[in-house]
Amino acid sequence: MVCFCFLVDQKIVVRRSKAAAGMCSRCRRSARVADMQTVTRFCYIPFYWKSWKAIVCSLCGNILRSYHK
């Protein structure tokens, strides 16, 4: 039997966002300041979180700028 449990994946979650000055370079919609969180999972169990801030587009989700610590 083959076990597919060696799966590590990463998910980017927007925890909250608020309006910000700026414009998306792709679709010209307004930008938002968002608290982002990268969740790394192993066997679908989260074991590592990293929070960071980013300027994202409110429409297409394009990340205009990120502030990784």
Q: State the alpha helices, DSSP H only, in the chain.
A: none
Token output for 44: 């679908």
Tell me which of 24, 31, 34, 56 binds Zn ion, using CB under 5 A: 24
Rounded-to-integer distance, Cα 43 and Cα 13, Å: 18
Please identify, among the stretches 11-19, 35-43, 47-55, 61-69, the one whose residues bind Zn ion according to the rule CB under 5 A.
61-69
C-beta of 23: minimal distance to Zn ion in Å?
Answer: 9
By CB under 5 A, name the one of 14, 19, 27, 43 that touches Zn ion.
27
Asked if 62 and 35 count as a contact pair (C-beta separation under 8 A), the reply is no
Binding positions for Zn ion, rule: CB under 5 A: 24, 26-27, 57, 59-60, 62
